[in-house]
């Protein structure tokens, strides 16, 4: 079954304690990205990756890091989480497409609370 | 950069009424995609429109892409409680997808 998986699904942590949210896809997609979703603000892209070892900033990258060492995995790292990073996070993947962006598949989401 | 505006932000309808959400892009799009997010769920792809003026239907849902490829709409005929959720458009330009903020649909039984 084609899917994007994220772990953990729920996380409550404290300010400053480093954490990693994992993301994995089994569709051999080149493109992967992270979004955060906040009420009234829609989906905002944090980082994206067009292939292994190629990452770039999205619209709201501050306070986040990513890496893409393997095609299937794209972890999101919060080195020193702060309360304003409390949010719902989605990982997504898709084929890069030769001309236009292809259908995007989303993971189930990670609800993060930073106290 | 590319911006996609979506209106309305919220819509409350009686079951059986119609519903429409609109998207407008600041630039010409290569294609536009529509996603639905059920409460507590993740966005799920509905459809993609590529051609200027294209109209596609999925049962009670009708999707349109404007002639200039800068706007799009999703119309639901005779809403049902199963239509509840947030509908997002996403405009594609080259390799980037830019999401609108979504329209949250509530259906009153």
pLDDT digits (tens, 9 = 90+) for B6-27: 999 999 999 999 999 999 999 9
Local confidence pLDDT in tens for the 115 residues of chain A = 889 999 999 999 999 999 999 999 999 999 999 999 999 889 999 999 999 999 999 989 999 999 999 999 999 999 999 999 999 999 999 887 655 557 889 999 999 999 9
CB pair distance less than 8 Å for A97 and B95: yes
Q: What is the tens place of the pLDDT at every residue in B56-95?
A: 999 999 999 999 999 999 999 999 999 999 999 999 876 6
Q: What is the pLDDT of residue A100?
A: 57
Provide the sign of the torsion angle of the four alpha carbons A59, A32, A40, B21, taken in this order.
positive
Chain A residues in contact with chain B using a Cβ-Cβ cutoff of 8 Å = 31, 35, 40-43, 50, 90, 94, 96-97, 99-101, 103-109
Cβ-nearest to B45 among A100, A103, A108: A103
**Binary contact (A42, B90; C-beta < 8 A):** no
B96/A contact by beta carbon, under 8 A:
yes
Decide: A107 and B42 in contact? Cβ < 8 Å: yes
Whether residue B101 and residue A101 make contact (CB cut-off 8 A), yes or no, is: no
Interchain contact, A100 vs B101, CB within 8 Å? no
| CA nearest to A101 within chain B | B95
User: What is residue A77's three-state secondary structure?
Assistant: strand
Rounded to whole angstroms, how far apart are CA atoms A109 and B5? Answer: 24
Q: How far apart are CA A6 and CA A110, in angstroms?
A: 7
B101 touches chain A (CB under 8 A): yes
Counting one residue from A and one from B, how many pairs have CB atoms under 8 Å apart?
55
What span, in angstroms and rounded, lies between the C-alpha atoms of B49 and A45? 22
Q: Percent helix, strand, coil in chain A (nearest 5)? A: 5, 50, 45
């Amino acid at each position: 079954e084609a899917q994007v998986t994220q772990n953990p699904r729920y996380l409550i942590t404290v300010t400053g304690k480093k954490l990693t949210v994992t993301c994995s896809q089994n569709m051999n997609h080149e493109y992967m990205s992270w979004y955060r979703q906040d009420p009234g603000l829609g989906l905002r892209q944090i980082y994206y990756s067009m292939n292994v070892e190629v990452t770039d900033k999205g619209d709201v990258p501050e306070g986040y890091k990513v890496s893409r060492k393997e095609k299937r995995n794209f972890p999101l790292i919060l080195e020193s989480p702060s309360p304003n990073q409390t949010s719902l996070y989605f990982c997504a993947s898709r084929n890069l497409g030769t001309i236009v962006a292809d259908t995007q598949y989303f993971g189930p989401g990670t609800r993060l609370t930073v106290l | 950069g590319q911006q996609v505006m979506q209106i309305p932000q919220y819509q409350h309808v009686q079951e059986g009424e119609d519903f429409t959400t609109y998207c407008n892009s600041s630039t010409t799009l290569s294609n536009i995609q529509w996603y639905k997010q059920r409460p507590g769920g993740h966005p799920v792809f509905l459809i993609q429109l590529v051609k200027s003026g294209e109209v596609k239907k999925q049962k009670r849902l009708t999707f349109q892409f404007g002639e200039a490829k800068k706007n799009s709409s999703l119309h639901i005929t005779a809403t049902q409680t199963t239509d509840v959720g947030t509908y997002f458009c996403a405009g594609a330009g080259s390799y980037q997808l830019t999401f609108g903020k979504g329209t949250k649909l509530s259906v009153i039984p």
